[in-house]
Every structure is written in C-alpha cells, then in structure tokens.
Amino acid sequence: MPPRVGGDRGFALLIVLWSVVLLALLVTQLVAAGRTELQLAANLRGAAVAEAAADGALHEAIFHLLDPATRWRADGVPHVLQRPSGTATVRIEDEGGKVNPNTAPPELLSALLRRAGADARTAGEIALAIVAWRFPNRQGPPAEAAYRAAGKDYGPPGAPFRSVAEVGAVLGMTPALMDLLQQGLSVHTDTDPVAAVAPPIVRQALIDMRGPAPPGPAPPGPAPAPRTVAVTALMEGEGGRFTRRAVVRLGMSEKEPPFQILTWDVP
C-alpha cells in the first residue's frame, strides 16, 4: 500500500501551527509579566523617591528651626518646598500646648474629655481610668476586675503611656472620643500645656477648668520658645504621595544636643 504522503504532511503542518500558537502564548505571557514587573519596579522606585524627598524636607525643616537667620515658627503654617520629583509641604506644630496623659491631673483630663463630647459622668470615669493606667495600685484589684468584666484581656500596666494611640485602650474610651481627644494629647511634653500655643480643644478645656481669663489686654511678651515640636512633611509628585511625621525635642542649652528625634513614623 503506497504511503499517505499528503496526510502526513497535513498532520505535521498542524503540529507546527499548534507549536507556533503555544510559543505565541508563551511570548505574550512573558511580555505581560515583564510589563507588570516593570510597572511594579517603577512604583517602588517612585515610592522610594517620595519617601526620601519627604525625609529630606523634614530634615530641612529642623535646620530652619535651629537657624536664627531663617527660623520657621511652630505655628502650623505650611511651608512649600519645590523638589525635582514634586512638591513637599511641611508643617511644624508646637507640642507645648498639648496635654500629657502621663502627667495631667484628672480634672484637666475630664475637661478635655467633655470638650471631646463625653458627658460629665463618662468624662470623669475615663479620666480616672487614665490615671489608673499609670498607677493601677491606687485603685487596687477592682481596676483589673473592671477590664476583665468588660471582656478585655489586659489591664492597667502601671507604666506611662508610650504613645497617644495607647490611650485608646483605656477602659471606657471610644473611637469617636479618641478621634477628637488625640488632637490635644502628646506623651512628649514635660510641662503644663501653654494656652498660647494650645489647640482649640485644649484651650477650651483649660478655660473650663481654670475659668476665663480676666478682661483686659493680654500681657505683653513673645510666646515661649518651643521645646518639643511635631514636624509633618507631605511629598506629592510623580511617585505618588508620602507623609513623614517626627516629634523633635530642641536643645535649650549648650549642654544639650541641638535636637533629638523622639519619634519617626508614618501617620
């Protein structure tokens, strides 16, 4: 029987066509994967550039805080810096007007909580819970029992708050209260809040606790030099957005370093 040359050629051609299709699919997948990897690499590079630019802008702000010739005030006013990769917006705020939950008396904490929206009874209870967080032994075993009764798997540690966010774990605190309260808190101040540089919620709480200032002109004199400031740098450009926030303590004498970075994070 003669060989089927035509049929064999057709079958071979079909195999070749399928091989070409498979190779084309493989090439398409490789090209698509390569483009995805390139895009990811570009995004990572852009994010790294934005982060580095934000960090640089924050360090520049610290320089201007220390330089008498170009000193920037800690008043929250934005400073816009143009960079090759975009625009950096820097704000400096004085932490001296905020309340330290590690040292504040319950009366001030209660007034601050009322200004954040808590009723008088709830504000008083949470204020005492904040103090009990620092000194749980003053309330004894009931403090631990109250947390267990509320379904918490922790209790007052008997140690200072390490961050403002930790105040949110105090018994009775709610996210809504904390959202407003944190505007007036700082764990990095070592003095009573200065009303002249305090945020509105703290200024109002101070009035509630101390009473309004006597009528008449304010006493003369410049606002006290900031001791601790919060510096926020927002970088916007081709690489996207990146925000860096740092709390910086400024040296007040020759015996201290010019500045000390207390926190360095992403808000």
Record the pTM.
Answer: 0.75
Q: Which pLDDT tens digits describe the chain residue by residue (267 residues)?
A: 455 555 566 667 778 778 777 787 888 877 777 777 766 776 778 788 889 999 999 999 999 999 988 889 999 999 999 988 899 999 999 999 999 999 999 999 999 999 999 999 999 999 999 998 987 655 445 577 888 888 999 888 889 999 999 999 999 999 999 999 999 999 999 889 999 899 999 999 999 988 776 665 555 455 567 889 999 999 998 768 899 999 999 988 888 899 999 999 988
The per-residue pLDDT for 13 is 73
The per-residue pLDDT for 217 is 55
Domains and CATH numbers, the chain: 1-98+186-191+227-267 (no CATH), 99-185+192-210 (1.10.40)
State how far the alpha carbon of 73 is from the alpha carbons of 33, 93, 187, 258, in Å: 50, 8, 21, 16
